[in-house]
Amino acid sequence: MHLEASIDVSRHLLQYGLPFRGHDESESSINQGFFLGFLRLTCPMIQKDIVNSCAKETFKAIIGDLNGDYFGILVDESKDISHKEQMALVLRFVNKNGEVVERFIGLVQVSDTSACSLKKAIYSLLSVHSLSPSKIRGQGYDGASNIKGEINELKTLIMKDSPSAYYIHCFAHQLQLTLVAIAKKTFGC
């Protein structure tokens, strides 16, 4: 009964993109998070098992939608709250319905943002999902992040393995930076 309820709540939270955990999950907290709020379960191990199972099923659906076809990669890095470097990987591809879609594949901690470390992390994430780097047909990176000095080297390393993996600059990020700069100038922030 608890398992069924846990799965139902997990499905609901995932459907709406809501966070499972709260800021403070102690008994006296008023912000224990949605999962505990709905179920009042106190076993994080069960929560993690359910989330991992949902993640596996989600990845199966994404890989199925990709259908073994070509894809592009979008990579960004940031530091977490403990100042450790992490890298996010998104696949961009045309699905079975002919629509261009972007799907988040994973977030991994990297030792540094050197081209070799990032390539290793990208290939590792692709491998986990049985995706071949030879299927990469595009690559995009956030040109304003810590990896900006490594972009040329990283794109070259990936193009050695997959010559058709052309680099495309993230114009949406350029637009965002421009708008922020204009807003600061206009409003004196």
Res. 121: pLDDT tops 80: yes
Q: Are strands 100-109 and 85-94 parallel, antiparallel or unpaired?
A: antiparallel
Residues 6+ apart with CB under 8 A from 169: 140, 143
The pLDDT tens digits for 28-69 are 877 778 887 777 664 677 778 877 888 889 999 999 999 889
Least confident piece of the model among 19-28, 78-87, 169-178: 169-178
Judge contact between 78 and 145, C-beta under 8 A: yes
Question: Cα–Cα distance between 35 and 20 in angstroms, integer?
Answer: 5
Whole-number pLDDT of residue 136: 94
Model pLDDT, residue 41: 64
CATH of domain 67-182: 3.30.420.40
pTM score of the predicted model? 0.67
Which tokens go with 133?
């780097």
Mean pLDDT of the chain: 81
pLDDT one-digit tens code per residue, 61-73: 999 999 889 999 9
Q: How much is the pLDDT for 51?
A: 79
Q: Which helix (H) or strand (E) holds 69?
A: none
Q: Where are the domains of the chain?
A: 2-63, 67-182
